[in-house]
């Protein structure tokens, strides 16, 4: 069984960069960001008093800021999810209208 060789170096075609190999880079970046977040939380352990609606409690400053950032990201994600669903629905309608197979 012969293997085809890529014109980009000496690697066979099946060993070139793929989307899966790119995910390892993304994973590494994610681990580095999580390490920075851990350092941030550990450096901001001073307790702060939180007042939210009727709740009144204390928690570390770093944790409170991290929770606020996560909440903001979730709120920002809602319109993006709605847009993706809208585009999927439009694509599905277009396929059905033109008689394209699924």
pLDDT at 93: 83
CB 39 within 8 A of CB 46: no
Q: Which residue has the higher pLDDT, 61 or 2?
A: 61
**At residue 100, does pLDDT exceed 60?**
no
72-99 tens-digit pLDDT: 999 999 999 999 999 999 888 887 776 6
Note the pTM of the prediction, 2 decimals.
Answer: 0.57
Residues 6+ apart with CB under 8 A from 5: 11, 12, 13
- One-character DSSP codes across 23-65: HHHHHHHHHHHHHHHHHHHHH---EEEEEETTEEEEEEHHHHH
Predicted confidence (pLDDT) at residue 5 exceeds the cutoff of 90? no
pLDDT of residue 102: 53
pLDDT at residue 101 greater than cutoff 70: no
């Amino acid at each position: 069984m012969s293997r085809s060789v890529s014109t980009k170096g000496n690697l066979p075609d099946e060993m070139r960069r793929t989307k899966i190999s790119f995910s390892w880079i993304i994973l590494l970046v994610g681990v580095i960001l999580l390490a920075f977040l851990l350092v941030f939380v550990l450096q901001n352990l001073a307790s702060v008093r939180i007042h939210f609606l009727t709740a009144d409690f204390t928690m570390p400053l770093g944790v409170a800021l991290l929770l606020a950032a996560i909440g903001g990201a979730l709120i920002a994600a809602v319109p993006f999810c709605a847009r993706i669903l809208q585009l999927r629905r439009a694509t599905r309608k277009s396929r059905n209208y033109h008689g394209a197979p699924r």
